[in-house]
Amino acid sequence: MATQRDGTGGVSVLIVTGTGTDVGKTVATAALAACAKGRVAVVKPAQTGVADGAPGDLAEVRRLAKITELHEYVRYPDPLSPHHAARLSGRAELPLADAVQRIVDLDAVSDLVLVEGAGGLLVPFTEDDRWTLVDLAASLHAPAVVVTNPGLGTLNHTALTVERMSDDGVELAGILIGSWPDDADLATRCNLADLAAMGPIAGVLPAGMAAMRDFGQAARASLVRRFGGRFDWPAFLAAHRP
């Protein structure tokens, strides 16, 4: 399915998941898009909690990364997981095979396709077969970036996410730490080495990044070279580790 080409991280399809909701997946997706080269497309298979005609996550990606190749497959107005939101809205669910084929078709004409999930890794998209983002990644043979919070509680959430990906044969492209505070507390700084022990660090995104004047410059300063940035993870770890 996903072929190896010159895109972000050296792959042509990259899944962006998180350890839960509100961890910064959309800002992370925009940062990855802003630093990628070539023709970049961004997919949001299911958008929930946004009314018809209102700007969703892809509108934020467009604003931040200046990407125009944006694809939202289904939308449900209730702020719920996709399977519940689809049922309560009476709207059609998104079959896994349909999502896979549409991304494969988009991959054929793009250098990089970024796919942003809904909530965490195992949130169901449909009621009956209850497929999740890990199923989509496995079907596409696509690696995934895991976006996580830096603070207290992140170690368990991140470890469970990474371990489940490994169990399902999904490659971990990197752990992307989101919303790094200006004044990190002791627990947050202690977590850095433990997160790095779980897999390669893709970067550290500062808190409030979406409001920064030059988002592209901030993205390049926040992602490691593999993802098109110039972030120096060893130096950051040495400066912040207690």
Q: Are strands 112-116 and 172-180 parallel, antiparallel or unpaired?
A: unpaired
Rounded Cα distance between 232 and 119, Å, is 29
pLDDT, residue 2, reads 43
Task: Tell me if residue 3 falls in helix, strand or coil.
Answer: coil
Interval 109-160: pLDDT, tens: 999 999 999 989 999 999 989 999 999 999 999 999 999 999 999 999 999 9
pLDDT on residue 22:
85
For residue range 48-69, what is the model confidence (pLDDT) as tens digits? 999 999 999 999 999 999 999 9
**8 pLDDT higher than 50:** no
State if pTM tops 0.85. yes
Which runs of E-coded beta strand occur in 10-151? Answer: 13-18, 40-48, 70-76, 112-116, 144-148
Delimit the domains of the chain by residue range: 8-240
DSSP 223: B
Q: How confident is the model at residue 20 (pLDDT cuts 50, 70, 90)?
A: confident
Confidence class for position 4, pLDDT limits 50, 70, 90? very low
Residue pLDDT, tens place only, 187-237:
999 999 999 999 999 999 999 999 999 999 999 999 999 999 999 999 999
Q: Which two tokens stand for residue 70?
A: 């944006």
Tokens of 105: 């078709």
Among positive and negative, which fits the CA dihedral 13, 18, 20, 25? negative
**Does the annotation count 44 as an active-site position?**
yes
Report domain 8-240's class. Answer: alpha beta
